[in-house]
Amino acid sequence: MQKVIFPLWKHSSLASDDFRDTLIELFPAKMVQCSSAKRLRITVVDSDVAIAAPKRIESCQPLPDAVISIYLDVGVNSLSSSDDLALFECALQACTHRYTCYGVSESQPLPNLAHVSAPGQRTYGFCQVVFLQRPERLTKAQWLELWQGQHTQVAIDTQDTFAYRQNIIDTSVSPDAPLLHAMIEENFPPQAMTSDLAFYGVSNQTQLDENMAAMMKSCARFIDFDKIDVIPMSEYLFQP
């Protein structure tokens, strides 16, 4: 199973909710037409996450307005010639200002078991989508050990996430795609959009300071903070 991600940029004249509705109407239908497509996730900036805008971090402007994740029953080496992938790209050309495409390897340290939504229904809370570049000071092996080997449990212990997906970018399918090494997807309860206490799952300032300090110390080992993008999004899941 190969996961493919499409960061998307909408036309500037199109409202965010209209863009969301277009994606939700169009791409589940495209998935049904693809024999190799097994699952589809749409994360999108819309009015439901507008109050979380202060949590955005923009290093590579402009940030994507949505990300479509498709799970295809093909190998990573077959992506560039996949007819099913071409079907999605054709649809994207018609409804976006711009898109890029990457093949990724996904792991789920924390699957969503607490707030499972029906197919096509908005997932509870919000999804924080993060794009990373590997610091030049680290080899790939060092970076993965610090991130996946050591940081993962820190992130789960210090934040009130109910789902956590790590995506290592293996290949860039689009020739003009920016250099990226990873995408993180973390699901939080709705209160975390405006409350740091809720975001870190604590009840007082002392606990908040401790969790924030532990999280930032751990992140600083494998992230250059001037090369990170953070985007609160709504999430929708689909299956054939």
Contact 229, 130 (CB under 8 A): yes
**Distance in angstroms (rounded) separating the CA atoms of residues 127 and 45:** 10
Length in residues, the chain: 240
Q: Give residue 66's pLDDT.
A: 98
| C-alpha–C-alpha distance, residues 164 and 67, integer Å | 16
Looking at residue 86, what is its pLDDT? 85
Residues of the chain scoring pLDDT < 70? 75-82
Scanning 145-195, the segments in alpha helix (DSSP H) are 152-158
Per-residue confidence (pLDDT) for residue 83, from 0 to 100: 78
pTM of the model: 0.94
Report pLDDT for 80. 53
Start-to-end Cα distance in the chain: 15
Q: 117: how many CB neighbours lie within 10 A of its CB?
A: 13
Q: The tokens 């934040």 sit on which residue?
A: 159
Q: What is the pLDDT of residue 73?
A: 85
The domain ranges of the chain are 2-238
Give the pLDDT confidence score for residue 223 in this predicted structure.
Answer: 97
CATH number attached to the domain at 2-238: 3.30.70.100
- β-partners of residue 167 are 106, 183
* pLDDT value, residue 204: 98
